[in-house]
Amino acid sequence: MTVIERAQYGAAAFEGLTGKLPTTFPRTMGPNAMQYLQEVVESGLSSDMTSRFERRFAEEMGIEHCIATPGCTPALYLLAMALDFAPGDEVIVSPVTDYGTIMGLIKEHYIPVFADVEPGTVNISADTIAPLITDRTRAILAVHKTGIVCDMDPINALAARHNLVVIEDVCQAVFGEYKGRLAGTLGHAAGFSFDSEKTLGSDIGGCLITNDDALAERARFLGHSRGAENKPGFGRMHTAEGTALRMPACTAAITLAQLEIIRDQVAHVDRMARLLTEHLAVIPGITPLPIPSYVDVYSAWMVGFSIDPATFRCTADEFGEQCAAAGIPGIGTARYYLMPAACTFLQEKAAQQVYPYSLPPASRMYTYSSATCPNARAYLDKWLRWSTFCEKYQPEDCVLAAAIVREVADRNRL
Ligand SMILES: Cc1ncc(COP(=O)(O)O)c(C=O)c1O
């Protein structure tokens, strides 16, 4: 039997990470977490905790509907189901992301088309999306990677010209702000993650938000009612291929408590990420991830910088290893974020024209490789990031992190 070394993700990927700087775990918990959990138990499991969380999150977002799910992967899956495009329809999506962004597209037999990132960044833009729009494009799925919101006004304008749905993946940018508007309220619908290592860290949770009444109703019907209608004299009649994607009440209790403390945490994270960026920016050969001026609140889930390969005698991986050994927990390169390179099953299906890449429903040949997103590939080759950056950082931690990077840079300077 071939033994596969299974990859870890989410909180499990943070296990054992230590250093001189704060780490994400144990999480800071909202003071009401125990009370809300107790309510669930004392009600004999008859509390309306999940709807309570949904109402509160929708209110905080200033949006009509919140549908709570067990994670963002399920939230975006549910959205993909509810959008009801045809197999073979294309969705233009960020290439630098987590698999959870695209899983739902794949399960619904849509074709992910990866736009490249703007050079020197990890986000897609209207300019990188526009050349990929075809007669089969139905939606744009923009990921606000690291917490930096994509430049959404031009993306929305482009989408409007082509009648496309705009979806935001806000997993890494919860309560981040773009030109005074909250991330997640900038398009047609958005998915959030409340996995325990995320900024709004709960248990394995997530949600979908939208102002579109029909879309919300369809998502609830498919994900919370499993596609079943109540027929008098008969009962549950499954008129659609539904699924079961409800957020459990205990998770909702914790998420609600975490929601009560998130705004202050995000304001603090924004200040710390900007301070760290300032300290890193003055180190020769180091370029911190740029924070565009339209980002009013940088809800940074991770932070990072690129190294100028011509300046150092070591590789980016070695640079990261030395920084980790010197005390930055979890720092390293992250080439695996490049989805067209990471999803070898997509490469194979497209090459072999396996459904939905058969013709039809696909309307053309597709290829997936890092070569289709050269900006992203080039950036990831020299980008170092750490996602143990969190609300526990204080100004002295930003100074220490930058000092470690400077020390490693000076040690390896050519
Ligand atoms: C950008 C992005 N999208 C989607 C996901 C998946 O979220 P979840 O783990 O809640 O399913 C993640 C989680 O790491 C993410 O960072």
pLDDT at site 328 = 98
Q: Is 202 in the pocket of ligand 1 (CB under 6 A)?
A: no
Sheet order of strands, 286-288 included = 286-288, 303-307, 383-386
CA of 403 relative to ligand 1 center, distance in Å: 31
Among 105, 178, 88, which residue's Cα sits nearest to residue 141? 105
Q: Which CATH architecture has domain 33-256?
A: 3-Layer(aba) Sandwich (3.40)
Report which ligand 1 atom has the smallest distance to the Cα of 197.
14
Q: Give the Cα separation of 291 and 277 in Å (integer).
A: 9
CA distances 210 to 72, 75, 81, 412, Å, are: 14, 12, 15, 49
Q: Is 168 in the pocket of ligand 1 (CB under 6 A)?
A: no
CA of 231 relative to ligand 1 center, distance in Å: 37
The pTM is what? Answer: 0.98
| Percent helix, strand and coil across the chain, each to the nearest 5 | 40, 15, 45
What 3 state SS string does 287-311 have? EECCCCCCEEECCCCCEEEEECCCC
CA distances 161 to 123, 130, 412, Å, are: 21, 11, 50
pLDDT at site 406 = 98
pLDDT at site 1 = 81
Report which ligand 1 atom has the smallest distance to the Cα of 143.
1
Q: Is 71 in the pocket of ligand 1 (CB under 6 A)?
A: yes
Residue ranges per structural domain of the chain:
33-256
Q: Give the Cα separation of 182 and 165 in Å (integer).
A: 18
Q: Is 203 in the pocket of ligand 1 (CB under 6 A)?
A: no
Report which ligand 1 atom has the smallest distance to the Cα of 74.
11
CA of 284 relative to ligand 1 center, distance in Å: 33
pLDDT tens for the chain, 414 residues: list them.
888 899 999 999 998 898 999 999 999 999 999 999 999 999 999 999 999 999 999 999 999 999 999 999 999 999 999 999 999 999 999 999 999 999 999 999 999 999 999 999 999 999 999 999 999 999 999 999 999 999 999 999 999 999 999 999 999 999 999 999 999 999 999 999 999 999 999 999 999 999 999 999 999 999 999 999 999 999 999 999 999 999 999 999 999 999 999 999 999 999 999 999 999 999 999 999 999 999 999 999 999 999 999 999 999 999 999 999 999 999 999 999 999 999 999 999 999 999 999 999 999 999 999 999 999 999 999 999 999 999 999 999 999 999 999 999 999 999
